Chains A and B, each alone.
Chain A
């Protein structure tokens, strides 16, 4: 078996040259060069230029708005995602299949469509905005609107990351806890939740990264007031329209590095969590 595993190194199958050639050509033109484009512009900025762009109070405010709204949206999704994943996986009820399929709708729906739909819902004359208006609450054109848009576009990440772990839960562990006298709440908190942690971590992490970069769905509902409801992606767009490419690259490079760092951290944390369970088992 060892031999057959290693023999794949020099596979007798044809096509390596052709397929690898096509792949490298495509990846170079479509992925690598554009990333180099950003990296090149980013690297050309001197430290002082970079600090000047990033030190701009408007930029700092946009980062604060983006990150805080993304964090809030992620919290909503952690709870909502866990609930949806649990109900879809554990219970059998009419409409379950439809519910399961609907989870991916925010992925499939173009973000500009989501954007105008959310405004229509949460503006003062919208179905939900109208319900909230008597209480003096109007989510549209505020920070809350941004949170709603971010939560909408990233909810599938949370659900889909948690779902497989719920499917894999070992019913025997729950039964064992029950025979030992644990209450339902204790079983959930002490037996089930720890098993779901890798999924919750991945799901919320991906949801957060997606929220940081969300643009289309947010700009319609945000109001886009500088210092208050202006997200970083929009500010990049504004700098581009002003032909201030270095400033756009500085903000974009910072956001991209932040996202990549987060994704790498999630990856590492997840591997560690899984390893702990495997060794413990």
Chain B
């Protein structure tokens, strides 16, 4: 699997939010979009997810053009910032949702769905909690349910929109490593949107630093820190170095 973003542009009400953004994700790779708020990273993620239509450019997965493909047909699992769990469904029903809405011919039977839900609950280490409702879970547990729900559709790509921002610092640390190990175990490529450098360093194989609708530099964490390509990247990272 390889995923390519090519020359994506987007304007909202006369304001250029994305200008010719290009990016590629290799099989099993974990890529982070890092930048300050307003840099366009969330818009880019929404375009990749099919929730926003780009004005120009192309999205490609394994050579297939998916720029105009509807969101649901892309089979990209997305974890929303707010998790967007279905509040009136149990954890198990949340996870099974993507299977339940498949066309009848492709829809797994009840037993097969239950099997899959069970496996996913074990994968995210909450095998006992399938009958709970989202309101009865802790923040960290909710995030893991959102992960399981996204993974249930066997996604071709996993999209994570600031998935740790609603959690307190302690939980954040432990979930980071569990997200990374989950992604490795499943072998799915992932794109993470974050404004937190520590998060990007901890999770990503490569990081795209974004500023004002453009990617300033797209490289490994070591290269970014060792050889920042622009003054913005140096400034943006440097500030963080001082804080640490």
Contacts and interface: CB of A to CB of B under 8 A. Distances in A.
The answer to whether any beta carbons of A and B sit under 8 Å apart in the complex is yes
Nearest to B213: A3
B6 interface: no
B42 A6 contact: no
Given A2-B38, A3-B12, A6-B12, A12 B50 contact: yes
Residue with the highest number of chain A CB atoms closer than 10 Å, among B12, B17, B38, B50: B12
A10 interface: yes
B217 interface: no
A1 interface: yes
Q: Is the interface of B mostly helix, strand, loop or mixed?
A: loop
B46 A7 contact: yes
A4 interface: yes
Interface string A110-131: 0000000000000000000000
Contacts of B24: none
Most buried by B among A2, A3, A7, A10: A3
Nearest to A14: B70
B43 A3 contact: yes
A69 B51 CA distance: 57
B141 interface: no
B53 interface: yes
Interface residues of A, number: 9
Contact of B52 (A1, A2, A7): A7
Most central of B13, B37, B50, B52 by chain A CB within 10 Å = B52
Contact of A3 (B17, B53, B71): B17
A10 B40 contact: no
A12 B52 contact: yes
Interface secondary structure of A, over-half rule: helix
B146 to A, nearest CB: 18
Nearest to A11: B51
A2 B43 CA distance: 10
Contacts of A10: 52-53
A104 B53 CA distance: 48
Contacts of A4: 42, 46
Nearest to A2: B38
Given A2-B38, A12-B71, A7 B50 contact: no
B210 to A, nearest CB: 13
Interface in A118-171: none
A149 B184 CA distance: 75
B13 A1 contact: no
Contact of A7 (B12, B37, B38): B12
B71 A7 contact: no
Interface in A9-25: 9-10, 12
Given A3-B12, A3-B43, A6-B13, A12 B38 contact: no
A13 to B, nearest CB: 9
Contacts of A7: 12, 43, 46, 51-52
B37 A1 contact: yes
Contacts of B37: 1
A12 B53 CA distance: 8
A141 B169 CA distance: 75
A3 B40 CA distance: 8
Nearest to A7: B52
Contacts of A3: 12, 17, 38, 40, 42-43
Contacts of A12: 50-53, 71
Nearest to A12: B51
Contacts of B38: 2-3
Interface string A159-185: 000000000000000000000000000
A163 B71 CA distance: 46
A12 B50 CA distance: 8
A258 to B, nearest CB: 40
Q: Which 9 pairs of residues, A with B, have the shortest CB-CB distance?
A: A6-B12, A12-B51, A3-B43, A7-B52, A3-B17, A6-B13, A12-B71, A3-B12, A10-B53
25 contacts: A1-B37, A2-B12, A2-B38, A3-B12, A3-B17, A3-B38, A3-B40, A3-B42, A3-B43, A4-B42, A4-B46, A6-B12, A7-B12, A7-B43, A7-B46, A7-B51, A9-B12, A9-B13, A10-B52, A10-B53, A12-B50, A12-B51, A12-B52, A12-B53, A12-B71
Interface of A: 1-4, 6-7, 9-10, 12
Given A3-B12, A3-B38, A12-B71, 14 more contacts: A2-B12, A3-B17, A3-B40, A4-B46, A6-B12, A6-B13, A7-B12, A7-B43, A7-B46, A7-B51, A9-B13, A10-B53, A12-B52, A12-B53
